[in-house]
Structure 1
Amino acid sequence: MNELWIKLGLQGKRALIVHHDDLGLSHAQNRAYRELGFPTGSVMMMGCCVGEVSGPDLGVHLTLTSGQDSMQLHPLSPGSSLRNPQGLFWRTLEDAWPRLAAAEVEAELRAQIEAALRAFDVTHLDSHMGALLRPDLAEIYVRLAGEYRLPALIPGNLDDVRLPPDFLAALQALRERSALPQVTVVDGYGVPPQQRREWYLQALSGLGPGVYQLIHHAACADAEGQSLGDWQGRKADLEALKDPEVRRVIGEFELLTWREVREVWRGAV
């Protein structure tokens, strides 16, 4: 086990960070965060509703892609390689990765981190859609994590992430030589909405000792929430995470926050 987890007293235990992605994107996303009560999430700093986000364990959801046309997300910096012809972030990784210039990416990441630091006490960094898993961008990501003294997520289970084959070895080497926390990601985004509750129960119940991050995108299914193409999955996440049986299974873990991780990690690096 990573030495960090031993210092946190997690040896032999099952620890879980319940992580709410895409905060600041919409009122529906933010309201779900408040309703669920789990403290941890990360904020898209160009989202239209960033100003209403508050909580004890918030990170920066570093963004270089939108994911869908209904997300009208603009870069915070002027780099031309970050933008599609409409001036928005590229929609997919396939669109973005061949075009993104590393220097412009670094400027954008700094802009997002600095905006977050002005708004709240940042506890961690992560990457929207894994856009920072292009190896040269991952190097920048890790360097900025050290510079800002913020733990950053690179999944400990990279083999489970769909990546170009030539990315995997470079990322594994970077992760091994970095001092970042080693966290296994559990993510049901691709699970059909009608199967989401059962997936939560099975996926979480089957985990052995280790430190895990459960990623979800819960949002309320009002008219605004339904403006996104994947709203049914976001609604399913919210319903599942309110379900008493799912809550019981989550309660069997040692619940962990990035704030706790940050404080111990800063003392170790």
Structure 2
Amino acid sequence: MKNYLLPFAAALALLVAGCSNGGDGGKADGGMATLTVAATPVPHAEILKEIKPLLAKEGVDLQIKVFTDYVQPNLQVAQKQIDANFFESDPYLAAFNKERGTDLVKVIGVHIEPFGAYSRKYTSIDQLPDGANVVIPNDPSNNSRALLLLAQHHLIELKNPNDRLATLKDIAANPKNLKFRELEAAMLPRVLDEVDLALINTNYALAAKLNPIKDALLIEDKESPYVNSLVARPDDKDDPRVQKLAKALTSPEVKAFIEKTYGGAVIPAF
């Protein structure tokens, strides 16, 4: 009986070995090292697709996993299902780590997506009426980002105008009696027709065919601290595959691609 089982055991061992090259730097076909990266569709996945050939020349097979939310990309990196992600701002990463007990780290900053306020009903922020319905993201970092932008333009006053973790409870004055509702960031473009004003992350604005430069009634300037970064686990930060990706993301080729493709709606941070 043992002799009959030996070929089966050997085949099983080969099968297991062949399936073990997930998010741990396994070799792809042709001897290339696989690197899986989570990204939101626009502009992150588009930028990654642009540099895929550059990484191939460096011996890295870049596998892009596209997500439409801000939670799973971090969770799956923390759980070692994916090697790294590219979608989030530095303040969002800090807030996520604090809330979820994760220890993900910034590898390198890549670009800024100026956050904007949009309306289908009004062409100027001065037209916004008293009691206007305003929707903002419900995650801590972008929630605060929205409030800071409104405060900067004197639509509200915050107890601390520099608090990057401000919430609705920190509004000290609301002269227009704005009525706020908090929604998941990805939902905001979908309700734009139903509200007076929506504060939307640029990646979701671009995906909804909004032009932040032309369509936003309010928009952050280039001094925004919300740099979007490549993120990984601490033990992978210095992995050669990750470092090759970091170098490619901050290359002259990527800078030229961002400037040509997004026309100021996305700004290189290097």
Work out whether the TM-score is over 0.5. no
Larger Rg: 2
Q: Which has the higher strand share?
A: 2
TM-score (norm 1): 0.28
TM-score (norm 2): 0.28
